[in-house]
Amino acid sequence: MDVDTRLLRYFAAIAEEGNLTRAAHRLFVSQPSLTKQLKHLESQLGVRLFTRSSTGMKLTEAGHVLAARVPPVLAGWDAAVSETRGAARVLRVGFLSSAANDATQDVVAAFGKVRPGWRVDLRQAPWSDPTAGLAAAEVPVALLRLPFPGEETFGVRTLFSESRCVALPSTHRLAGRDSVPFREVRDEPVIVAPALKGAWRDHWLAMSERDGREVRVGAVVERPDEFLSAIAGGYGIALVPSSASHFHSRPDVVYVPVTGVSPSEVAVAWLPDAGEAAADFVRCCLEVTRSRRTGCGTRWG
């Protein structure tokens, strides 16, 4: 019988969390989807893995047996994948669209000099996964934004920080301003990503600067094109990195610098057992960042 390793990862998360909601948040999937996948795994195995109650999910005897076996199975598979890609000289790198920019190719080029013959396979993640594939071990290293869920379980190095601005429809009353205090837009409906939970959610909604005001959600989007369309359509506004004005420019959306909110940080993060190729990529990220800080007329973001 063949079982998808994703199902095993889902099972392991539920077993460790003991709660469907927490496991779904950790995996960046909806709770109904996670429940469906668990039922699929139980159907394939022909056994019940959990007993469900108001207090959470408790492993059955069969579930305990599987829970003991799954971690080494997944570790072995991850090692096999890593070694296979290493033999093929391929490094898979996850990224969020807001974290990869005009310096990314410089990093890839620098990595190619360190590891001749290697290829970097860049994989864009949807905004519903702010770990850019790290949480599901789909990639060993990623370019992303801080803070992100589970950050403490990965290796993380900050590359740079940048101020934030507010994205507005071009017809908005504040569209012509040189800058705007956050207090003038904090009561407006906002465009959010599906994964806005915890510290990630709090940062992009500037919860600490809202003085307790309730957030009104205007739309939920997963990708940049959906985000821009929602802004242009007047469904809401959003705090974004200042570089968004360069990488996501369109005539019906304007980006106005906003004061009174903290900056955004771009980082490179990696799995604890990412391997030497990933370590070399991290070093290239840091070196390119340093060179751009000291160069004239260059920028990252």
**Per-residue pLDDT averaged across 220-240, rounded?**
91
Q: Is it the case that residue 85 has pLDDT exceeding 80?
A: no
pLDDT class for 293, splitting at 50, 70, 90? confident
Are 268 and 282 in contact, with CB atoms under 8 Å apart? yes
**Per-residue pLDDT averaged across 65-81, rounded?**
87
pLDDT at 297: 39
**Per-residue pLDDT averaged across 90-99, rounded?**
87
Give dist(CA 296, CA 298) in Å, integer.
6
pLDDT at 296: 41
CB atoms within 10 A of CB 228: 20
Q: Is it the case that residue 301 has pLDDT exceeding 90?
A: no
Give dist(CA 186, CA 169) in Å, integer.
16
Q: Looking at 147-244, which runs of residues are DSSP E strands?
A: 155-162, 164-169, 180-181, 190-192, 217-220, 238-241
Closest CA to 170 of 259, 243, 237: 237
pLDDT at 195: 58
Q: What percent of the chain has pLDDT over 70?
A: 95
pLDDT at 298: 39
Average pLDDT of the chain to the nearest whole number: 88
Give dist(CA 295, CA 142) in Å, integer.
25
Distances (CA, A) of 137 to 64, 106, 144, 226, 274: 23, 25, 15, 26, 10
Q: Looking at 111-202, which runs of residues are DSSP E strands?
A: 119-124, 141-146, 155-162, 164-169, 180-181, 190-192
**Per-residue pLDDT averaged across 90-119, rounded?**
89
Of 28-32, 167-171, 223-227, 233-237, the range with the lowest mean pLDDT is 28-32
pLDDT class for 75, splitting at 50, 70, 90? confident
Q: Which helix H or strand E contains 16, and what residues bound it?
A: helix 5-17
**Per-residue pLDDT averaged across 37-44, rounded?**
91
CATH number of the domain at 5-83, out of 1.10.10.10, 3.30.420.40, 1.10.287.110, 1.10.3720.10? 1.10.10.10
37 vs 86, more confident:
37
Task: Put residue 294 in one of left, alpha, beta given phi > 0 → left and psi -120 to 50 → alpha.
Answer: alpha
What confidence tens digit (pLDDT) does each residue in 278-288 have? 999 999 999 99
Domain 89-160+265-294, CATH class in plain words: alpha beta
pLDDT at 196: 55
Q: What percent of the chain has pLDDT over 90?
A: 53
pLDDT at 294: 63
What confidence tens digit (pLDDT) does each residue in 136-167 have? 888 999 999 998 888 898 999 999 999 999 99
Do 89-160+265-294 and 164-262 come out as alike in CATH topology?
yes
Domain residue ranges of the chain, discontinuous segments joined by +: 5-83, 89-160+265-294, 164-262
CATH number of the domain at 164-262, out of 3.40.50.920, 3.40.190.10, 1.10.630.10, 1.20.810.10? 3.40.190.10
pLDDT class for 54, splitting at 50, 70, 90? confident
pLDDT at 295: 53
What confidence tens digit (pLDDT) does each residue in 186-212 have? 999 999 877 556 788 888 899 989 888
